[in-house]
Structure 1
Amino acid sequence: MTTLNILMAQMNTLVGGFEGNTQKVIETIQRAEAEHAAPVVVFPELTLSGYPPEDLLLRPSIEIRVAKALDQVRAAMTGGAWVILGYPRRIGTALYNVAGVLHRGQVVAEYRKQSLPNYQVFDEKRYFEAGDEPCVVDIDGVRVGLTVCEDIWEPGPARQAARAGAELLLNINSSPYHRGKRGERWRLVGERARAAGIPIVYVNQVGGQDELVFDGGSFAVSARGDVCGAAPNFEEGEYWLQARRGDTGIELEGLAAAPPMDELEATWQALVLGVRDYVNKNRFRGVVLGLSGGVDSALTLAVAVEALGPDRVEAVMMPFRYTAQMSVEDAAEQSATLGVKHKVISIEPMYEAFMTGLREEFVGLEADTTEENLQARCRGVLLMSISNKKGLLVLTTGNKSELAVGYSTLYGDMAGGFDVLKDVPKTLVYELCRYRNRLGPCIPERVIERPPSAELRPDQQDQDSLPPYDVLDRILELYVEQDCSASAIIASGMDPDDVHRVLRLVDLNEYKRRQAPIGVRITQRGFGRDRRYPITSGWTLGD
């Protein structure tokens, strides 16, 4: 009976970190060979370069770096492992996204990715040429086909591999997370397995890369399309399974199914992993944030502590004359609960200094949002100064709902390096706060229960100038994430005045979003690589 011992190497790579990525590959192969005589070790897409390498692929030295990394891997392969490894490869004048097959120090075959995604966050046609041929390799008596990531989302490549004689398909991936993604993958890969009549092993990378989070969750699907095992989501690791030849073909076994996550848990883990990897991969000592006593900064603090530990997180309460005493108390309580360093620095003196300096400019002019924005900018200056002095990354705390409608201040609460909640609608902020509190004491209950307020003027509440957040978020979901027109949103039952007001604010505030820090992407249409609208435009509102 033929048996292949397959290791799914669910690896967290660093884009452009060829030396570190290569060393991790070598160490993984060595561990696999120590456990089995001739293992099949499967790495994610573009493991050597990391994914997505973006315009690093246009650098002339990319070929030199890939060749050096491959040489190091080949030289280290002293055992009998079969290695499936992703890397960029230039052949002639064309650059390809390749899955290479390495055995006993040689590259014995290479598959060139055929389906190049060019939507949402993907831009592969900018860099790569598409392949057009299958790759099937005999590995210890089993005919193994290869595909790369997007190939599995199209019906052609898997069928092509089966027609070329593949009895088992290995699909290597760098597939980013969004809410609901695991179910989508399982259904889609199951369909491909049934159509091709062969089992599929799906290996995905894990880790944060700028705004993207790769959630791992590698899995195996039988020829009948049933998921027969799955690795954990959001965890780097090595997971074994066996491919055995049975009476009806190759059967997969030996991989337990990791406990499923509900969407709240998955979203929480995505935010935590995104923050942890952004801070660590960019070598920040830690983070600092403004803790206002409001729900957004409370959730941001909770994520940061989970990601980095309390010793690497600092919280600063920056009260002003409009700050409620309960905000000061709640910020202090949460900081104490989580064990983070907590400071209180009033912005009154600097605000007054600015107003004194601007007195002549403001003569005869009524107070308006200028004074509100100045408060936010005083806070931004404080946080950025702490950042510069201590080498800490400033985490901003704005959520997707606020960013969509411009309910934020340039060079104020938008000043910082990373926005944890950038793709998290306000209604989801509340859900995540309650989820986190179910895990243990964290966010004071009245922070969640009190009406949200920026506290920039007396008795201010967010809903003075915005629709209720459940209404706002539904309009934003339809307009931003589903591309619905104003008329379609109104036809769905939303109030016309609310719709036109919200859509106008979204369109007017593109200039702000272009200057906002990046943040973790958790939906299929985040404000970043997903949505690229012009700032200067004559586009008719809401069309």
Structure 2
Amino acid sequence: MIISDIDVVALRGDRLKNSNFIPPQEESVSEIECALEAVSTGKWYRKFNPYPFIPSPEKEDEYLSEVFNIQTAGLAKRLQHTGIKTVTMGISGGLDSTLALLVTTKTFDFLGLPRENIIGITMPGFGTTGRTYNNAVELMKSVGVTVKEIPIVNAVTQHLKDIEQDINLHDITYENAQARERTQILMDYANKINGLVVGTGNLSELALGWATYNGDHMSMYGVNASVPKTLVKTLVRWIADTQMGDQPRKILHDILDTPFSPELLPADKEGKIAQKTEHFIGPYELHDFFLHRMLRYGDSPKRICFIAQQAFVNQYSPEEILKWLKVFYKRFFAQQFKRSCMPDGPKVGSVNLSPRGDWRMPSDAVVNVWLKELEN
């Protein structure tokens, strides 16, 4: 006897979203009745992949190559359409800007444009650490782009003074002022050279709203807009191991080992990153799983919670999963206003949050119904 669990809800959700499933042309169907004895062993058979955005090892090269090529083709089309031959981008030494830089260099090679036309700008601030700064500069040098350094400490200090904000008060104003100063530099420098600002934000940040409105949230084309954080990491590692020389590969692996952080708060006493993203919003691997189940299959909060417990049974307790799922829903609903005016970008997979594509949601939607389901 063969026993298996069938996820009917997921199948229905997939068919609703996938146009490959065409309704049958015949209006009538044949119904065949048969008696089946109910079978329940009390055991859960289905295995859920905790990393739905990451390909299996045997499909890795094909899938990641396709993602990388789609990102490249999207940026290439935008540059060709506008006639622009130069770009600016903020390089922080973090994963997102690293992937954006790799996509941009490949795009310029594809278009036959010199990599020197890529203006990589590092903008050290109050929380920039030596590790990320050095990685940013060395990576840009190793891939042959133009390196610019424009510190933001003096400009932000003056700005906070102008708006009568205590510089020792490290609140949201302190953090956002830095992000917006960086975006202003990128935009104005792009205007100066008749260029385009390449955005670096990823799909997971868009889902959680982990970006400063009109700061790092804004660009002229976002190459990572539909790439979730777990896939960003996998993609950078794959590029490092398959397409890079020894020196850039070494830098990329150190970037991969660096904690996720916007570095908007001062470093600790040892000069290391003090502001770690996942301490505030939770593990990206959980949030990416929640996002995939919600958008791809239309799962309810209860279903997502239950399935996540099966997928991460040896990694997170049910209490931890519930805690971060509530955070996910609260942030997802509260931050829709940022997604409603997000920049253009390529779609690389089945899940996307562009208001011009797959996702249409009012910015004033209320999360109460979803949270209430998790209370019962």
In angstroms, what is the RMSD of aligned CA positions?
A: 2.6
> Larger helix proportion, structure 1 or 2?
2
- For the residues of structure 2 that align with 1:487 and 1:298, how far apart are their CA atoms? 36
| Residue in 2 that maps onto 1:474 | 289
Moved more, 337-346 or 492-501: 492-501
User: 1:268, CA displacement in angstroms?
Assistant: 1.0
Q: Aligned to 1:288, what secondary structure does the other structure show?
A: strand
Alignment of 1:93-492 (within 5 A): 153=22, 156=25, 262-309=62-109, 310-359=115-164, 362=165, 366-437=169-240, 438-441=242-245, 442=248, 444=251, 445-458=253-266, 459-492=274-307
- For the residues of structure 2 that align with 1:526 and 1:311, how far apart are their CA atoms? 32
Q: Aligned to 1:451, what secondary structure does the other structure show?
A: coil
- For the residues of structure 1 that align with 2:152 and 2:338, how far apart are their CA atoms? 24
* 1:522 and 2:348 matched: yes
- For the residues of structure 1 that align with 2:342 and 2:107, how far apart are their CA atoms? 22
Q: Deviations over 1:78-98 (max 9, x none)?
A: xxxxxxxxxxxxxxxxxxxxx
User: 1:154, CA displacement in angstroms?
Assistant: 5.6
- The 1:409/1:264 distance shift into structure 2, 3 A limit, reads same
User: 1:469, CA displacement in angstroms?
Assistant: 1.5
Structure 2 counterpart of 1:497, from 312, 323, 338: 323
Q: Which amino acid aligns with 1:447?
A: I
- For the residues of structure 1 that align with 2:136 and 2:160, how far apart are their CA atoms? 27
- For the residues of structure 2 that align with 1:387 and 1:541, how far apart are their CA atoms? 44
User: 1:501, CA displacement in angstroms?
Assistant: 1.0
> Larger strand proportion, structure 1 or 2?
1
TM-score (norm 2): 0.73
Q: Deviations over 1:460-493 (max 9, x none)?
A: 1111212112112111111233221111111113
- For the residues of structure 1 that align with 2:20 and 2:179, how far apart are their CA atoms? 47
**Which protein shows a greater Rg?**
1
Contact 1:399 1:422 in 2 (8 A): yes
- For the residues of structure 2 that align with 1:365 and 1:336, how far apart are their CA atoms? 35
- The 1:491/1:152 distance shift into structure 2, 3 A limit, reads closer
Q: Aligned to 2:308, what secondary structure does the other structure show?
A: coil
Q: Which amino acid aligns with 1:452?
A: F
* 1:512 and 2:338 matched: yes
Contact 1:466 1:472 in 2 (8 A): no
Contact 1:384 1:415 in 2 (8 A): no
- For the residues of structure 2 that align with 1:394 and 1:347, how far apart are their CA atoms? 18
Identity of counterpart residues, as a percentage? 26
Alignment of 1:4-15 (within 5 A): none
- The 1:342/1:406 distance shift into structure 2, 3 A limit, reads same
Greater RCO structure (CA 8 Å; 6+ sep): 2
TM-score (norm 1): 0.51
Q: Which amino acid aligns with 1:312?
A: N
- The 1:377/1:499 distance shift into structure 2, 3 A limit, reads same
- For the residues of structure 2 that align with 1:474 and 1:493, how far apart are their CA atoms? 7
- For the residues of structure 2 that align with 1:344 and 1:333, how far apart are their CA atoms? 12
- For the residues of structure 1 that align with 2:141 and 2:167, how far apart are their CA atoms? 46
Contact 2:160 2:167 in 1 (8 A): no
- For the residues of structure 2 that align with 1:151 and 1:490, how far apart are their CA atoms? 29
| Residue in 2 that maps onto 1:536 | 364
Q: Which amino acid aligns with 1:311?
A: E
The size of the alignment, in residue pairs, is 296
* Unmatched segments (≥5 aa) in structure 2: 1-15, 27-52, 55-59, 110-114, 267-273, 310-320
Contact 2:167 2:174 in 1 (8 A): no
Q: Which amino acid aligns with 1:427?
A: T
